[in-house]
Amino acid sequence: MFAAHRRKWGSPRITADLRDEGWSVSVNTVAAIMAEQGLRARTKRRRKQTTRPAKGHWQAPDLVCRNFGADQVNRKWYGDGTEIDTDEGKLYLDSVLDVASRRIVGFAMSPHHDTDCAYHALSMAVAVRGGVEAVAGVILHTDQGSEYTAHRFRAACTRIGIRQSMGRVGSALDNSVIESWHSTLEFELRREEHFTTRAQARAAVAAWIDDYNQDRRHSSIGMSTPIRYELGA
């Protein structure tokens, strides 16, 4: 199991997999066996900050105030962007995460770090969740990047009924939920593969996100996976 997850899973997730297969085993036992065999999950490094604050003075209020959790889906979403290196140049990824289930509900990729990419990620999230009526009132928490303060993005949020929320400039902790997710993406995919083309990177990232939603276990949701948690399994 450790090899199947490319040496990235520690004892809690390995234990959850074993229990799903019918084993009766504790986390401490799995940790001890892994230690005996020298199986240690690789640690992540801090992700580089790529936020570009918008010019001007508009910003949304902080509606989260570091109270990150939510007990139901479509209550709090988190948005952020990151960059992926390819031999053709950078590919930018914008993502939207529902914190209740830890599911990535929307994402978009583009050669440009701009409002269009963030807008398309938001549009996908709304479509995945069933449309405007299903998401009206949801809080979307982001940093103060120019893509989120642009008029087009703000107008879309107003039209849909999404409440924008923003943390402070330069404070990764204010948006740590989605920062952590992008750090996981970097650790488990970007540092493992070299992408020759943007098309290759697009395909790999999309496949990784699908696997993440289907298979990634989270302690915050009882070691379930995002899709399984939403289905109530």
Return the HEC string of 16-70: HHHHHCCCCCCHHHHHHHHHHCCCCCCCCCCCCCCCCECCCCCCCCCCCCCCCCC
pLDDT per residue over 88-125, tens digit each? 999 999 999 999 999 999 999 999 999 999 999 999 99
Please say whether the beta carbons of 85 and 129 come within 8 A.
no
pLDDT per residue over 167-182, tens digit each? 876 555 678 889 889 9
Q: Six-digit token pair at 38?
A: 């020298």
Which pLDDT belongs to residue 43?
58
pLDDT per residue over 152-206, tens digit each? 999 999 999 999 999 876 555 678 889 889 988 988 886 678 899 999 999 999 9
The residues, ordered by sequence, that sit 6+ positions from 44 with a Cβ below 8 Å of its Cβ are 183, 184, 186, 187
- Class (C level, CATH) for 76-231: alpha beta
**How does residue 55 score in pLDDT terms, banded at 50, 70 and 90?**
low
d(CA 54, CA 57): 8
Q: Where are the domains of the chain?
A: 1-43, 76-231
